[in-house]
Structure 1
């Protein structure tokens, strides 16, 4: 029998019936899996319980902390290492083995690890146009959560969006990659990104997007705030995704995804201008 990997998994959910079984199946090697659920009305909780996850309910009071931060601060983890895995993500066997080997070899040498993603869009894996990294594996005691002044973005509810908590200590990057494959329809993809653009326009307007420390790899931590201030962002986003990152090699899915990136940043710009028009100049 393969030894369990001494990592506690946090997965958050709200009506993730289409994704949750694949996600949890990929996590069987890990010591414990917590599902923090926001009162799903589909079979998400039932499936998770059948597959051995520890299911807890999060009832948000519309104040901080939101869901992931609450989990970090309140769940009785059995392990010092915690890994954030979204319901539409999976941990392949090669990555699970790398995590086990790395933690056994390096112990507490680093406070966290960045993981890359194989991103699926419109049924195809994007090998070029969308290659992202995020801090997903971290030591619980060395992780810090920040408030983004985003409580007015009600469409996202209790979700922290995509900002990543910084850690106190060094970080490293693992070689193998997670899988991001949402089984929901494209309607849900665009609906979700419309909500994301609400969040980004608000936090850029109130200045917390630029003030807060966010765990980002390499040059991204410096380029992200710079990009947010550039003109012509929709065109730049499309060009970077489709040409610079060679998304054209991903075929039709690569083109469609690059267009969606341009539209996303166009939405952010439009909503930001609306905030300035209604409320006055943006905060620095």
Structure 2
């Protein structure tokens, strides 16, 4: 088995964790969970399958939790794969990893793979842009950038290589759970967009500047900047029309409509509504914004 450690962040993931671990066992030599004190069967299931579980208090930040794992887990492998509990690799990507990793160039420090989404049991293939993510990286050369949303693995040195296979996000929870999750995400996204204009997030450290984003992450950030410059509320509508009609999202029936409406229009309108709420209460004063977000959404920026 290759010198790869897979790290999985968990909290009450009993619906997904067995599938995730069994999938990771096909390309990993070690599997570690960083668990936020689950109160379901997550830990018991993971340990029964041979994964090692380490628990750390959740501090409302995925990047901080993952970086805690990088710093504190007994990692002895050359490579690390970041995998969410509701994700798994396709057979083609597993075969590609098993074939290519033994002879990968020493100049390569990160492997970029495409991520695809399931929604209501349907793989979303229309209306989507290709989501490439750096998830496999040399342990000594990577870290997760500390952001409220849209955090990426960044490299301190080395190049990246794109693999052809893809992995999927296939969450088995209810639609109500999905809505609540995105409601929680929306204030984080609002903070990231407000920060572009008002600099309300204090940089964690100067060290982060030295880290290198993948080309795909840089492209995504540039698109976000362009989106942020569009008119509030109208941009969510335009984004939905682009995805659903011009990118042929309507071809995928009811599931396609619900996906693009909820994720492409409703969610982004909710983000804009929270931006509007903050600016209406605080004007353009960054200090007032930070205090308002802390008092109303319990996010300390």
TM-score by length of 2: 0.82
C-alpha distance in structure 1 between counterparts of 2:86 and 2:10, whole Å: 10
Q: CA RMSD in A?
A: 2.4
Corresponding residue pairs, total: 269
Quote the residue 1:262 is aligned against.
Answer: 265
Q: Is the 8 A contact 1:164 1:216 kept in 2?
A: no
The residue correspondences of 1:61-210 to structure 2 (distance < 5 A) are 66-130=64-128, 131-148=130-147, 150=148, 161-167=149-155, 168-207=157-196
Deviations 1:175-211 (A, max 9, x none): 1111211011111111111111110111222346999
Q: Is the 8 A contact 1:7 1:80 kept in 2?
A: yes
Q: Secondary structure at the match of 1:273?
A: helix
C-alpha distance in structure 2 between counterparts of 1:62 and 1:114, whole Å: 26
C-alpha distance in structure 1 between counterparts of 2:280 and 2:153, whole Å: 32
Deviations 1:113-155 (A, max 9, x none): 221123110111111233422211111221144333x5xxxxx
Q: Is the 8 A contact 2:4 2:78 kept in 1?
A: yes
C-alpha distance in structure 1 between counterparts of 2:161 and 2:270, whole Å: 34
Quote the residue 1:50 is aligned against.
Answer: 48
Higher-RCO chain (CA-CA 8 Å, sequence separation at least 6): 1
The structure with more helix, counted as a fraction of residues: 2
Structure 1 residues without counterparts, runs of 5 or longer: 151-160
The residue correspondences of 1:177-256 to structure 2 (distance < 5 A) are 177-207=166-196, 215=214, 217=216, 219-231=219-231, 232-256=234-258
TM-score by length of 1: 0.86
Q: Is the 8 A contact 1:14 1:38 kept in 2?
A: yes
Q: Is the 8 A contact 1:206 1:282 kept in 2?
A: no
Residue 250 of structure 1: how far off its partner (Å): 1.7
**Structure 1 pair 209/53, CA: closer, same or farther in 2 (3 Å)?**
farther
